[in-house]
Amino acid sequence: MMDITEPENVKKWAIETFGSVECGDPRRTDRLIKVASALANNPSASLPCVLETWGETLGAYRLLENPAMSYGQIITPHWSQTYHEATQGSRTLLLGDTTEMDFSTHKAVKGLAPIGNPEQDISFSVHTVLAMDPQTQRLLGCITQEPFRRKLAPKGKRRNNGKNESGERESQLWERSVKRLGRVPQNQQWIYVGDSGSDIYTFWQTCVDLGYDIAVRVAQDRVIEMAPEDALEESDEKYLKTLARALPATSARFLSIPTHTHQPKREVFLQGSVNIYM
């Protein structure tokens, strides 16, 4: 994979990634490549900061608000490129999470939905899956992504119980992301990594059906059933979290926790087991 941390590779990467986007006009494609190159040089900066002139910035805004351009048009070539990169090694991590884009201070923006306080916090959300090479810990790119808005509850009613604007539960995002990627390629190991939001039985089922391994942070203390040969001696644990705490540690490490809210920076000692019972 091309290392775009090297300045000389940035434009080449942008051309290879976005040069095939059908924009309806070659000038739009050129503009897209220029914007992608600028953002790749400084991903956390705004368009006015990364583009050279106000004219270039206005050109980028016109491109992004042009009705002939769509999110799918722009991002699909990058998904395809990332998928190809993910098939080049024997093992790939798929890192999934949902990010909230907070526009609470942008009162003029229309079509947003609540993320916290429904009267004040407005936004949209994006469920993103990044592909990573576990050997080098290099990100290969975004392999799939789904923007969505939460469904507004009727006035006087409670929150929408985790549903989006189409009435589907947000938890189905995890399952849909796997279905979009399809079955794991032959002779590959793809491991889907998720936080506690991915502790969803139907998501696990979909991963197993399509050949994915999973590593999730447990949220539900599920009832478990173990084969007699796997049961711990002198233990009849029936719940997942209790069993996990009873397993003998097979690895340990110190971890530095940065300052957060009212808690100071601290060192913690972690112990864990690689054994997984399902």
Residue 276: predicted pLDDT: 43
What CA dihedral angle connects 69, 70, 71 and 73, to 10 degrees? -80
Task: Determine whether 122 is exposed, middle or buried from the number of CB atoms within 10 Å of its CB (0-12, 13-18, 19+).
Answer: buried
Residue 232's nearest CA partner among 192, 273, 266 is: 273
| CATH number for the domain formed by residue range(s) 74-219 | 3.90.350.10
Q: What is the mean pLDDT of the chain?
A: 82
Q: What was the pLDDT predicted at 110?
A: 73
What pLDDT is attached to residue 2? 57
Give the per-residue pLDDT at 59. Answer: 92
Q: Going along 219-265, which residue ranges are E strands?
A: 251-257
pLDDT of residue 3: 63
Name the phi and psi angles at 270, rounded to 5: -110, 140
Class of domain 1-69: mainly alpha
Q: What's the angle, vertex CA 105, arms to CA 103 and CA 109, rounded to 5? A: 55
Q: Find tokens 């206005």 and name the residue.
A: 58
Outline which parts of the chain fall under CATH 1.10.246.40.
1-69
How far apart CA 45 and CA 42 sit, in angstroms, is 6
Q: What is the pLDDT of residue 153?
A: 55
CATH code 3.90.350.10 region(s) in the chain: 74-219
Q: How far apart are CA 253 and CA 261, in angstroms?
A: 24
Rounded-to-integer distance, Cα 103 and Cα 120, Å: 10
Quickly tell me which residue has 């002139």 as its tokens.
53
Taking CA atoms, 175 is separated from 91, 131, 171, in Å, by 21, 17, 8
- The gap from C-alpha 117 to its chain's centroid, in whole angstroms, comes to 24
The predicted structure's pLDDT at residue 262: 82
Tens-digit pLDDT profile for residues 214-234: 998 888 888 887 776 666 555
**CA–CA gap between residue 155 and residue 126 (Å, rounded):** 25
pLDDT at 7: 64
Given the structure tokens 């889907």, which residue do they identify?
Answer: 192
Residues 6+ apart with CB under 8 A from 81: 16, 17, 141
Predicted model pTM: 0.78
Question: Which tokens in the block code for residue 242?
Answer: 């209790």
Helical packing angle, 71-86 and 7-18, nearest 10°: 110
Chunked into runs of 10 residues, the chain (278 residues) has average pLDDT values of 68 88 88 91 89 92 90 90 93 92 75 63 83 92 88 54 56 91 95 92 93 90 75 65 81 87 87 54
